[in-house]
Amino acid sequence: MAEAATNLLTTADGRPLKAALAAAQARARRRAFLLVLPLLLFVVLTFLVPIGYMLKRSFEHDGFANSAPTLVNWFAQNKGFDPANPPEEAYAALVQDLARMQVEKTTGQAGTRINYSVPGTISLFKKGAREADTLTPPFKEALLAVDPEWGMPALWRGMESASHVYTPEFYLVAADRKLTDEGWARGDDGQRIYLYLFVKTFIVSAIITVLCLLLAFPVAHLLATLPMAKSSLLMILVLLPFWTSLLVRTTSWIALLQEQGIVNDLLVGIGLIGNDGRLSMMYNMTGTIVAMTHVLLPFMILPLYSVMKVIPPSYARAARSLGATSWTTFRRVYLPQTLPGIAAGSLLVFILAVGYYITPALVGGADGQLISNLISFHMSKSNWSLAAAIAGMLLVAILVLYWLYDRLVGIDRLKLG
């Protein structure tokens, strides 16, 4: 009833109230939109488009589909062929394409594409292409004579899959699946590195987040409660790392923590450890965790500080006057009120840590590498699609975490400052 009545409201001159309101606000809204337009364009161009392109690349590779048209055509017409025993026409198409690759110099592209799912095939393709125009029918026997590996069922499965420009294959590889003669299967134990690194990255990020929280909480509390002059000084100390180059900070940690570094020298000097028992705290996971905790600490301190700043000291006093010990006061009154800050800081640090690249690359050694270092490795090898697939998985994982976080904590409780 009440809602029907509100819908019928009109202005004094008989226009519907809602339309009149919209018209009255239209100008202000247009101006507001124009103000955000530059940022909107910037975000679309530099953020959404690259991410969209990356996601597209993670599904797309035309290296084989473009350079082997005859075989692609044959695969399209013979959907149910037996990869263990492809017929003569298939071999004929393959030899024809190999000859074309040799002429068009596309052997590398095609080989690289197949190499994703069936490792070690680039050389096979190069050899096959070189000899393709000398081969005579029957092509099956002729090609197998060049190299018996041409008969591998896994290779034929791989080529069939690569004949499509769009494929989920890179995600399968990034999930440690392997193309065998029988199809996609779990990879060998020694070679499953991607998921292992994923899990490791998330565990390390969680450790860093917890360390940051433990270190940041007292600092943020001090910042929020000290008198102005002292807290400003402390704030500068917190922000100083922000103004220092990441490279400089990381290198300082190397100087401190390496085996001939300051910390070890000091420990040996005071006799806590022997000269031959120097701790290795650099170029391993310890180095990565220490340096990353330091680098990410301000991202925990600042949200915590902004929340603590507005908690009036009278709450703690009230709790104390009501009979609570200082520990109970902290646990039941202060801590719950800092939760939005803890949540915001943890989310920020965790997401930054999961995608961190430069610090583990510099101080991680072999043991302290994270998933982003692997992405970077594949990018340097021009394995764009695989790098994009791993990055895509990372993105999805973060979005899932974000969703979980929203369900558990509520995104509206987030307070970044």
Binding interface with another protein (CB under 8 A): 312, 314-315, 317-326, 328, 332-333, 336-337
CB of 329 vs another protein, minimal distance in Å:
8
Nearest residue to 86 (alpha-carbon basis) of 154, 19, 5, 170: 154
The Cα 67–Cα 105 span in angstroms is 9
CB of 323 vs another protein, minimal distance in Å:
5
Between 340 and 360, name the residue whose CB sits nearer to another protein.
340
CB of 335 vs another protein, minimal distance in Å:
10
CB of 340 vs another protein, minimal distance in Å:
10
Between 80 and 313, name the residue whose CB sits nearer to another protein.
313
The Cα 90–Cα 384 span in angstroms is 29
| Inter-CA distances, 373 with 111, 194, 346, 389, Å | 25, 11, 22, 14
Q: How many other CB atoms are there within 10 angstroms of residue 359's CB atom?
A: 26
Q: What is the DSSP string of 12-33?
A: TTS-BHHHHHHHHHHHHHHHHH
Between 80 and 323, name the residue whose CB sits nearer to another protein.
323
Between 186 and 230, name the residue whose CB sits nearer to another protein.
230
The Cα 328–Cα 320 span in angstroms is 9
Nearest residue to 63 (alpha-carbon basis) of 154, 158, 127: 158
The Cα 301–Cα 345 span in angstroms is 7
Between 245 and 321, name the residue whose CB sits nearer to another protein.
321
CB of 319 vs another protein, minimal distance in Å:
7
Between 232 and 326, name the residue whose CB sits nearer to another protein.
326
SS3 355: coil
CB of 307 vs another protein, minimal distance in Å:
12
